Structure 1
Amino acid sequence: MSLTRLLVVGGGITGWSTAAAIKRRVPKLAVTILPLAPPPDALADRIATTLPSVLGFHADLGIGLDDAVVRTGSLYRLGTRFEGWVEGALDYVHAYARHGEGIGGAAFQHLWARAALSGDAPPFDSLSPAAAMARAGRFVLPGGDGPLADYGFGLTLDIPRYTAMLMAFARHVGVEGHLGQLAGVEHDAQGGIAGLVLDDGTRLAADLYCDCTGPNARLHGTLGVGREDWKRWLPGDRLVLEAAPIADPLPMERVVATENGWRWIGPTQQGALYSAAHGTVPGEPIPIAAGASLEPWRHNVVAIGDAAVAIEPLEWSNLHLAHSAIDRLITMLPAGAPHPLEAAEYNRQALAEARRVRDFVLLHYATARRDTPFWHDVAGADLPDSLAHTLRLFRERGRLPFYEEETFDRDSWLAVLFGQAVLPRRIDPLADSVPPAEAMRAIAQRHAAIAQAVQPLPTLAAFRAAQSRHLHERA
């Protein structure tokens, strides 16, 4: 048996991204999509905020910034500002950029931590060019020399226009669409799916199915696959989401800790995540059940996005996990019938990635210090072994372990740890090779260089307006 037909079930960003990417990169494969409307709890389709990895996904498809940003009305974003997560501490920005260069054999994080322990260090995020731009409301694309040469940025999507762009692109590369509603799932003798029945009696069949239907996993959920429940670590189980367009947006979101969770304000959306057991907030709640499928690839069905991993949008990883699953599937597409070894390796990588994203989200709660029942309950929960190990290692000597399938890099972990006032008990001995005065001069020089580089930059709105004018002049 050869793999010739693939059916994507589910519309929205996840479904159309899956269909477009697979057809673009495997053009001989017949790809059909049944674009069911995403449900309210399909956060990869509902949350407008994305990580920098979205740009790599676009690049693989051949979609540039003009199409993905300017023509769709999307905005650039540099990070997230966290407020009130540690009572009495300053707010901080988690941005996607390096915070400094090592000196000699000493890593920058150890030099900064030594200065912080002595009370001489500026805020860690002030040493990130992306964080400084975000606070100032300014933006340019990275390039040139100096502190603005290299940093990451994500996007804030205009979801309807972005989805329309993906639909047009998918059709352009040859994806076939089939309208209808799913009425039933037929199984074969091996336990996989033999075909789908639509509400008008039509039957659709394929060699491989991609389930992009959200947390209910309307295909994958019929296969009896086990699920890892994360509620004991991430008890926030309700999300309120609403549009909130801002006339003069900042290139970042604000995430503010509250009595029973957190709320955020972004350029196009705002909302709140909370634990229903600890209170309510105004608005129509969307239930969330944090967890991950133990086998997102089972038989001839692959769960993509929220069908495989459900997690709150803190740190905006929902669409990233969907894109990562799509990339992983394309890399491991079988030549014929799906082989158990391919599925097992896919599942190992997918679960490792999901767990590490869970750890990074949980890091914010585990290191927060607030005095309400919700925060006490979160702080009192036993941590997953992987996160407990990370925190023990860091708190002892400021080191971070390496894990396979890591979504957030070392500087992201450091931004949250240092931002939430977590400092190591001891400094790495390599830092002793750099005199404190020399290290402080380097820190001060970087701080000044970033401030000087950011000051003349345009606002985000001005940059986007200039970019749009340039596009129209070329048209």
Structure 2
Amino acid sequence: MSKRIQKVIILGGGTAGWMSAALLRRVLPDTIDIELVESEQIGIVGVGEATIPPIQNVNTVLGLDEPEFLRATRATLKLAIRFDDWRVPGEGYFHTFGAPGRSQAFCHFHHFWNRARLAGHDSNLWDYDLNYLMCQAGRFAKLKADDPMWEVKYAYHFDAGLYGQYLRRYSEARGVVRTEGRVAEVAMHPQTGHVEALVLDDGRRVAGNFFVDCSGQRGVLIQGALGVGFDDWSHWLPCDRAMAVPSQAAEASTPYTRATAHDGGWQWRIPLQHRNGNGLVYSSRHLDDEQAAELLLANLDTPAISDPRPLRFRTGRARSQWHRNVLAVGLASGFLEPLESTSIHLIQSAVVRLLHRFPHDGIHAEAVNEYNRQSRREYEQIRDFIILHYHLNERDGDFWRDLRHMSVPERLTRKIELFRANGSLFQDDMDIFLEPSWLQVMLGQGVVPGDYHPIADGLDEAQLLEKLTSMRRLKGEPVAKMPPHDEFLKMYGALAGD
């Protein structure tokens, strides 16, 4: 019998299932059939509404028209995340998709800024960041410039339910078969332990060679059938619940997500064309559900349009994302809270990683092991970046004090200590967050370098100040010519109903 993969079965819909279906169908040859099994009786989480720039790679591969995509998902554009009250109440900073100034070989721009700061010429590093200046002005434009200094990196805020429907239409139009039904039993091969078929509650049997588990936190295949186990990271990231509620759209939408720290957790606000997405991520040891709902509703920018909906989760990851002939994607593979909008990216990267090493003539242990190594590394690095926000705080309250004094992964400790010493940053293999991201969160959370790179001493003080003044002026020049964010969406043909 041939070992070649002739049919892929995806269990579960939503963003994870339909993004998997769309990418697999777009890339794999038509000789491989794809079928997605889902039940309308099983709800989807559907709160992952903010993304990071690599999602544009998905749209490019799928050949999507951006204005049509924005209309269909009621999307707005995202340049950054604004963090309010994280280090101490009353303070805030941005983590943008851009970078301050213009770096040069062997020396990032922030070393010149830090030399001036240590000499008494203090300024806001974000004033040299185009994305930040656009956020502050509430403006947006897609600049066409050869110089990367003016590159505008952006992502999207969209309605996750509409996004899943959009990808479903895309996938079905290209031959993906959707089957309605709930799984009653998982049929396993008695010798190999591979999954052979899903037996639905009406007795239908959906057979395949390769299975993608998008069944959410239940992990029907990866945990229920294969029992790979789970690495629990709640000792580092103790939030285990969320309360989500939509509210009316603001009069003017902002091109950034907002994350506001509270006692026992933090609140998100995501602006869409037709509403705001809001939620509170919190620790059940510090807030009960009633307190969380009250805190969330008391801090909305616009009136709520439904009752808060509770969600429960456990932070961590499946010990193997790929085991035998099953690949876990989305919540079935693990959960990291949405502080840095990585949930949808982890779906994307899981499927792209599979496509890079999709089995041709059977599943080989070498490919599976390498997939799992990369997946584990990616999860751990995102985990550490999220821990960074919590650990570096000076807030009061048991929740924040415990996080400030906890032991953190050794890699994270090294990165913090190195940056604090001399402003140095290093890029790890598989880390989706580049040096400018670590720079902004370190500074925003109060880690100020005590030294700088010696290349910054290549200018005398007058030249240094002129360099900074000129850079701030150059970064700000394009912003005044940009339209307001909502006006850009209208001109671009991105508003639903236009």
**Matches of 2:78 and 2:39, distance apart in 1:** 29
Q: Does 1:6 align with 2:8?
A: yes
- Secondary structure class of the residue paired with 1:239: strand
TM-score between the two structures when normalised by the length of structure 2: 0.90
Structure 2 distance, partners of 1:120, 1:190, is: 68
Give aligned pairs, total: 471
With over 3 angstroms needed to count, the CA separation of the structure-2 counterparts of 1:382 and 1:104, relative to structure 1, is: closer
- The aligned amino acid for 1:109 is H
Q: What is the aligned-residue identity percentage?
A: 29
Instruction: Specify the alignment match of 1:209 in structure 2.
Output: 211
Alpha-carbon offset, residue 469 of structure 1? 7.8
Closer, same or farther: CA 89–388 of 1 in aligned 2, 3 Å: farther
Residue 87 (structure 2) aligns with: 86
Deviations 1:289-320 (A, max 9, x none): 11011210000000001111201100100000
Query: Structure 1 residue 407: deviation in Å?
Result: 1.0
Question: CA distance change for structure 1 residues 41 and 429 in 2, over 3 Å: closer, same or farther?
Answer: farther
- Counterpart residue number, 1:232: 235
Question: Any residues of structure 2 matched to 1:132-211 within 5 Å, and which?
Answer: 132-144=133-145, 149-188=150-189, 189-211=191-213
**What is the deviation of 1:440?**
2.5
Give 1:342-361 correspondences, 5 Å limit. 342-361=367-386
Tell which deviates more after alignment, 82-91 or 15-24.
Answer: 82-91
Relative distance call for 1:376 and 1:113 in structure 2 (3 A) is same
Deviation larger for 315-324 or 79-88: 79-88
Residue 279 (structure 1) aligned to one of 273, 278, 287 = 287
Q: Which amino acid aligns with 1:273?
A: V
C-alpha spacing 1:330/1:36, structure 2 compared with 1 (3 Å): farther
In structure 2, distance between residues paired with 1:104 and 1:26: 40
Name the residue aligned to 1:293.
318
**More divergent stretch after superposition (33-42 vs 185-194):** 33-42
CA RMSD of superposed structures (Å): 2.2
Runs of 4+ in 1 over 6 A off after TM superposition: 38-41, 145-148, 469-473
Mapping 1:273-422, distance limit 5 Å: 273-280=281-288, 281-282=292-293, 283-422=308-447
Aligned-pair distance for 1:433? 2.2
Residue aligning to 1:254: 258
Distance (whole Å) between structure 2 residues aligned to residue 271 and residue 38 of structure 1: 24
Between 1:429-438 and 1:32-41, the stretch displaced more is: 32-41
Question: What secondary structure does 1:240 align onto?
Answer: strand
Which residue number in structure 2 is paired with residue 443 of structure 1?
468
1:99 deviation in Å?
1.0
| 1:17 partner SS | helix
Distance in 2, matches of 1:47 and 1:177, equals: 23
The question of whether the paired residues in 1 share the 8 Å contact of 2:74 and 2:495 is answered with no
Spell out, residue by residue over 1:303-361, the C-alpha distance to the aligned partner (whole angstroms, 9 max, x if none): 00111120110010000001000100011111122111111000000010010011111
Q: Deviations over 1:27-84 (max 9, x none)?
A: 2311111134596784xx4211111111111111111312321343211111111111
d(CA) in 2 for partners of 1:97, 1:59: 21
Pairwise CA distance, 1:119 = 4.2
CA contact (8 A) 2:87 2:444 kept: no
User: What residue in structure 1 maps to residue 456 of structure 2?
Assistant: 431
